Structure 1
Amino acid sequence: MADDIERAGWTCRSFTPDDLEMICEHREHMFLEAGGDPETLKIMTAHFRPWLQPRLADGRYYGFALLDADRPIAAIGLMSIDWPPHPSHPTDDQRGYVLNVFVEPSHRRRGLASALMQLADAEFKRRGLSFAILHATQVGKPVYERLGWKGTSEMAKVIA
C-alpha cells in the first residue's frame, strides 16, 4: 500500500490542525456530490468547523491526507468512539469510525480510496480497535464492499 502510493509519486501524512479547511472543503464536496442541498451544506460546514477544530488539535479526530506535490488529493477521517460491548466486538468498548473519505475528481479511479481504507485498517489495528463502521455513499459502497465491508441493519430518523 505505502509502496503503491510512493510509486505513483504521491506522499501520505497524518492530519494536523492545519488541515481544518481542507477537511471542511472535502466534506462539503462529498455531501454535495451525494445530492446534498448546497445551502444546507454551507450551514453544516459552519457548524462542523468549530466542532472539528478542537478534535483535530487533541487527536480525537485523526486521519490521513494523500498529497501530489504537496497538494491534498485525497483524505480520510477517523475516530475512536465509545461503544458498549456488542456481538460484533463482545469484549471491546470502542469502535473505529471512518468518515469524510474524499478523493479529488482529477485523481479518482486510481486506487486512492482503497489505499486510504487500508491506512485506516492499519491505524485502527495499531490503536487496538478490532471493529469499525462507516456510512457509505452510493458511489463509495462498491469500493468498501470490495474491501470486505458489509452492510448492517442500521436505521436512522431525524427527530423534529
Structure 2
Amino acid sequence: MISTRPIRADDLELVCRHREQMFRESDAPGRTEEILESQTAHFRPWLVKHLGDGSYFGYIVEEHGEPIAGIGLMTIEWPPGPSHPTQDRRGYVLNVFVEPSHRKRGIAKALMDRADQEFARRGVAFAILHATRMGRPLYAQLGWSATSEMAKSLS
C-alpha cells in the first residue's frame, strides 16, 4: 500500500540521502563523490534548522511503511515581478526524488500535484525549480517552462 505523509524532523537523513543521490544521478559535470559528501555535510545542519522552523516542508511517499520518494518545498522572499506582480514570494520545489525501483509509476507526478496544492493552500501563485535532465520531461508535461536564468560560481 502506498501512502503520502508530510516530512518530519526525523526524515533528516532520508532527505539528505535522497538529495545526494539526486545530484549523483544528474548530468551536471564536476559532481565528484568528494563534492557530494561535502555538500551533504553542509546541507544537514541547514536542513535541521529549516525543518525545525517549518520553512522546509514537503512530503514523503511510503510503500508498506518504507520511504520510496520525497519532495521538498519552500516559500522564498522574492520581489514582485511580471510572473507574480502582486506577491513578494514564490514557491520553490527542491529535492524531488523517487527510488529507482519505483520510477515510471506516476509517483513524481503525484508529488508535483501535491506541491501545487500545498502552494495554493499557502496562497503562493508562482513557483520555480531547477530541473535535472531526467526531470525535465515530467516538469514540461506538467506545465513548467524553462526560464532565462543563468548562473555563475563566484569562488
Secondary structure of 2:132's partner?
A: coil
Structure 2 counterpart of 1:92, from 70, 87, 103:
87
Distance 2:101 2:139 in 1: 20
Alpha-carbon shift at residue 110 of structure 1 (Å):
0.2
Q: Quick check: 1:37 aligned with 2:32? A: yes
Secondary structure of 1:81's partner?
A: strand
- Alignment deviations for residues 64-108 of structure 1 (CA, whole Å, 9 cap, x no partner): 000001111000000000000010000000000000000000000
Q: Quick check: 1:17 aligned with 2:9? A: yes
Residues 91-130 of structure 1 aligned to structure 2 (within 5 Å): 91-130=86-125
In structure 1, the partner of 2:141 is: 146
Secondary structure of 1:92's partner?
A: coil
Report runs of 4+ in structure 1 exceeding 3 Å deviation.
none
Secondary structure of 2:110's partner?
A: helix
Name the amino acid aligned to 1:25: R
RMSD of aligned Cα (Å): 0.6
**Structure 1 residues not aligned, in runs of 5+:** 1-8
Using the size of structure 1 for normalisation, the TM-score is 0.94
Name the amino acid aligned to 1:27: R
Q: Quick check: 1:61 aligned with 2:62? A: no
Distance 1:34 1:105 in 2: 13
Aligned length: 152
Alpha-carbon shift at residue 57 of structure 1 (Å):
1.2
Alpha-carbon shift at residue 131 of structure 1 (Å):
0.1
**Structure 2 residues not aligned, in runs of 5+:** none
In structure 1, the partner of 2:19 is: 27
Using the size of structure 2 for normalisation, the TM-score is 0.97
